[in-house]
Amino acid sequence: MGSTCGPAISKMVLAKRVLGGVVGAYASFPIDWFLMHPGSNYIADPAAGKAAHRARMAIDLTLAEKGIGPFLDLARSLYACGAGRSLTVIAAPRAA
């Protein structure tokens, strides 16, 4: 989880130096958090994988019901914390 911080910062630096700047940065739900609990650790128990995935989907759908604004706020916050399964950086083109 903390290991994503380095690549996230590198992407931000790249976007600022090479492109026109960062427009947005988001992270998806950190399903890796399920690894902290023995009952949902899908690495230790591969049979728990489908349940963990369904739980992640249910969490995403529940959060999305609050609206796109709060959902994206959470995604931005997860990115800022270096948490998340995948990271997305949206960059603007460099001015000519």
Q: Where are the domains of the chain?
A: 2-91
User: CA–CA separation, 96 vs 92, rounded Å?
Assistant: 12
User: CA–CA separation, 87 vs 10, rounded Å?
Assistant: 12
Mind listing the pLDDT tens digit of every residue in the chain (96 residues)?
A: 444 455 555 666 666 666 677 888 999 999 999 999 999 999 999 999 999 999 999 999 999 999 999 999 999 999 999 888 888 888 887 776
Predicted pLDDT of residue 2: 43
User: CA–CA separation, 47 vs 85, rounded Å?
Assistant: 20
